[in-house]
Chain A
């Protein structure tokens, strides 16, 4: 039993942290958010470090990482409040690495060698909001996808669709954002990220761009990758929020001294530390069990999102409260983490949905 990360993982996350500290400080990030919404130049540096291919196998020209690398990078990206499509791309690439046929995977990796191409998932649940119909050699996609994170930064989308007669999404397709019949309505989310609502009206996909069909397990796997990544984002943002809050308690002066000397505030801060430790353990466990038995993966990921959602809300709200009035200002970093935390608590399904799934998997009776 060993819960340490490897030297290779340490090198990778140190490089990413350094890049984000140098090129995407809080001040620089604020300017980027106001101007363009995200920074292609920061993204390009991250591409040079190999971040997008971190989750592809060495034999495919990737860094050979897996679920743990996905979680670690998502965590430090969120700690830096990154608005670049780091997590979205890593989720999509993890799906390709695990579920795509070799020719499609290799074609996408070749494209990555030439351009900093961006592929993001256009789904965060198995709901059948897009339907796939076979039309000769092609597949035709019709439907909608709401709140697709980083779609406005993307060149391609990974679309989940339900095949004929299926009650849920069971197929995955690669769709260029300029495909005929695809419309994007772009906006900024509550956590200052670029996103879009999609309408697919007769979008045609060739066999070459078909990742998988009639394969609900692959869609489940894709959702679980998203659950792990967004929960790791909650951890990264919550860690930073707690660090900022502890610092504030030490420095903010009232009644002739720092407010951190008041026990009421100390004990609230300690509760945050305890919940942070809980989430840290479960992110590690989620990554460690990811490639084990499917049932253990699914229940652990459901448990992870339950705890990530609760912790994100709790720590976000407590951090704001302990910052007093400053906590609700645009100027302070803490309010941005609060918004990021709220977004992570909701993305890929809120707490109750996952608690229900966990409880049913573990305790459903014959009658129930």
Chain B
């Protein structure tokens, strides 16, 4: 007997435990969802750029625009968090900087995304200026 280490101890940390595909798959799924939504979003921007405050409130008060905007922001911010996470993990090697940037990335995405979503819903439900 050459070793007291269990086979489990040697296997740990050496490969996927059937969870590795989750992040990969979620990134692709969000990309598939975002592809048509971003095209819709571009035309939304053109429509809103030509109008004023009331144009935007009216546009957002239509239920399909509100729902699509909320989904767009949620999926978009999830996707951008995943993308920036990969960039940080690839390029930042110092543990402290890496972890700090990963946490900052998460906090910025959750905070900005939540502020955007709740603002959109409030405008749509209250019909604009309070």
Q: Do the two chains belong together in a single complex?
A: no
List residues of B whose CB falls within 8 A of some A CB. none
List A residues at the B interface (Cβ < 8 Å): none
